[in-house]
Amino acid sequence: MLKKIFSSFLSHQSVSKPLKRLLSILPTAACVLNKQGDILFVNTRLAAALGYTPEEMTGTPIANYGLTLTDIMGLLRDETGAKKMRELIKKDMQVAYISVGASYLSNGEQILLSFDEASQYNDTLGEKRLFEAVVQRYPLAVMVQDRRGICRIWNREAEQLFSRPASEAVGKPVRQIIPAGLLHALDVVSKNVTKSGHSYLAHQMTFKDSSEKEIVLSVSQVPMLDESGDIDLLLTIFEDITQRHNQEVDLLQTRNLLQAILDHIPLGIYTRTVDGDMTYFNKQSQILLAESDPKYTNSPHPNQDVETVKGYTERERKLIEEGKMREYPDEAYIDHDGHEKLLHIIKVPLMQAGPRPLVLSIVDDVTKKRAQEKEIINTNGLLSAILENAPIGLYARTKDGVIK
């Protein structure tokens, strides 16, 4: 009925004054186009919504405001006449989301467009735009896929990491854009997230890039729920940790090498905090000090009572305060077989070893050395006694004539 009223006011080349007055008093934003898409008339409500005056918009192509003839033809072909949500460009270049309906007037020579502002839809799409902007500026590679496994967002970092532009990723199935070497592991993660509804964080994966270089990734995936609580989107974050991973491998190899070296030197090496906690000891110190298994290093010496440990901690705390290396008199220990050993210990304060200062102890088994020294002393004493009581005179002279 409204269409018939409008048509009665129209000629093919212009908009009649009665129609202009009618469109001006209607509470709906509207405009009239010719078949080429040029605006013949626009009411103040539509012009104001886009930030223009009616005079500025009249005579300009509707395409200037984000609506193409293809869009309009699609609306005209819809037999239901339902309005569709479209993006219109405002004068300040911001986007307005408006519900648009289209119908022919005057035997198909002119087109009436009517617009309804969709504030709730604008808020939702505004949040979507903000979300996309944040994802695009995120410093790690991000992919967002829908419940059908179709990529919806592929940010700049993802373009660089996978050498694939967004134009070749967005709208494509994830299986077509993720490298084959990564696809199976990612599929497992996605199934776990979809099944549990919980995020999956920092899962390590590897793949080879276009140059056959192995890339190590830390992959996290977060489910995004719709209003009903169902998973609507999956957000996947890819962090390239190749350099860090290689450094960790190198550090582990260096640590293992150092451990092998320390385990084969004939000295006992161990470290202890000022609280008495053992943080490291090598195999030789385990043998010399009758230590338990090395995996129990985070505890005081298992074969010492509380008072003994307290004595050690006081000594080591004083050593830390002095900040100097100290060499201690020989100490007696009992080995695994119950034999007494004499151990010579040197302690070195390690002030920059971590959050707590440590004391490095170097232990040398001097049992045989001290026995040999004692034997030499005894032998020398016996020899001196024999010579003193010999019935003949004995002396020794150096080549310089000095009598020894």
Residue with tokens 């298992």: 302
Q: First-to-last CA distance in the chain?
A: 141
Alpha carbons 285 and 120: distance in angstroms, whole number: 73
Quick check: is 238 in a domain? yes
What three-state secondary structure class fits 347? strand
For residue range 302-360, list pLDDT tens digits in order.
444 434 445 556 777 777 778 888 888 887 877 667 778 888 888 888 876 566 778 88
- For residues 270 and 380, membership in a common domain is answered with yes
- For residues 218 and 295, membership in a common domain is answered with no
Long-range contacts of 322-325 (CB under 8 A, 24+ apart): 322/349, 323/349, 323/351, 324/349, 325/349
- For residues 270 and 396, membership in a common domain is answered with yes
- For residues 277 and 369, membership in a common domain is answered with yes
pTM over 0.85: no
Quick check: is 201 in a domain? yes
What three-state secondary structure class fits 245? helix
Alpha carbons 321 and 218: distance in angstroms, whole number: 44
Quick check: is 123 in a domain? no
Quick check: is 125 in a domain? no
- For residues 145 and 108, membership in a common domain is answered with no
- For residues 165 and 200, membership in a common domain is answered with yes
Number of neighbouring beta carbons within 10 Å of residue 118 = 16
For residue 241, what pLDDT is reported?
Answer: 94
Question: Mind listing the pLDDT tens digit of every residue in the chain (404 residues)?
Answer: 444 444 444 445 688 888 888 888 888 899 999 989 999 999 999 999 899 999 999 999 998 998 888 889 888 888 777 777 777 888 887 767 688 889 888 667 899 999 886 554 455 555 666 778 888 889 999 999 988 889 989 999 999 999 999 999 988 999 999 998 899 999 999 999 999 999 999 889 999 988 889 999 999 999 988 766 788 889 999 999 999 999 998 888 988 888 888 888 888 888 887 777 777 888 888 777 664 434 334 334 444 443 444 555 677 777 777 888 888 888 787 766 777 888 888 888 887 656 677 888 888 888 888 888 888 887 777 777 776 776 776 666 777 766 55
For residue 302, what pLDDT is reported?
Answer: 44
CATH assignment at residue 343: 3.30.450.20
- For residues 283 and 359, membership in a common domain is answered with yes
Helix H segments across 197-298? 242-264, 283-288
Alpha carbons 27 and 288: distance in angstroms, whole number: 96
Final residue of a domain: which of 67, 93, 117?
Answer: 117
- For residues 98 and 13, membership in a common domain is answered with yes
Quick check: is 74 in a domain? yes
- For residues 73 and 110, membership in a common domain is answered with yes
Of residues 159, 181, 157, 180, the one with CA closest to residue 168 = 159
Final residue of a domain: which of 89, 117, 145?
Answer: 117
- For residues 94 and 70, membership in a common domain is answered with yes
- For residues 173 and 149, membership in a common domain is answered with yes
Quick check: is 289 in a domain? yes
Quick check: is 57 in a domain? yes
For residues 83 and 74, is the Cβ–Cβ distance under 8 A?
Answer: no
Alpha carbons 180 and 186: distance in angstroms, whole number: 10
Quick check: is 258 in a domain? no
Alpha carbons 263 and 260: distance in angstroms, whole number: 5
Q: What total number of domains does the chain contain?
A: 3
Of residues 351, 348, 357, the one with CA closest to residue 274 = 357
- For residues 304 and 195, membership in a common domain is answered with no
For residue range 364-380, list pLDDT tens digits in order.
888 888 888 888 887 77
Domain that holds residue 154: 130-245
Final residue of a domain: which of 213, 245, 277?
Answer: 245
